[in-house]
Amino acid sequence: MLQTAARSVSKLVQPITGAAAVRSKHTLPDLPYDYADLEPVISHEIMQLHHQKHHATYVNNLNQVEEKLHEAVSKGNIKEAISLQSALKFNGGGHINHSIFWTNLAKDGGEPSAELATMIKRDFGDLATLQKMLSASTIAVQGSGWGWLGYCPKGKKLKLATCANQDPLESTTGLIPLFGIDVWEHAYYLQYKNVRPDYVNAIWKIANWKNVSERFAKAQQQQ
Binding-site sequence positions for Mn(2+): 50, 98, 182, 186
| DSSP conformational letter for 105 | B
Dihedral angle computed from the Cα positions of residues 86, 102, 51 and 180, in that order, rounded to the nearest 10 degrees: -40
Does residue 29 have a cis bond before it (omega within 30 degrees)? no
**Distance from chain centroid for Cα 139:** 17
* Whole-angstrom distance, CA of residue 149 vs CA of residue 160: 5
* Whole-angstrom distance, CA of residue 92 vs CA of residue 178: 18
- What residue spans of 22-55 are helical by DSSP H? 44-49
* Whole-angstrom distance, CA of residue 167 vs CA of residue 105: 20
Q: Which residues pair with 152 in a beta bridge?
A: 157
Binding site, by residue number, is: 50, 98, 182, 186
**Amino acid identity, position 138:** T
Q: Which residues pair with 149 in a beta bridge?
A: 160, 179
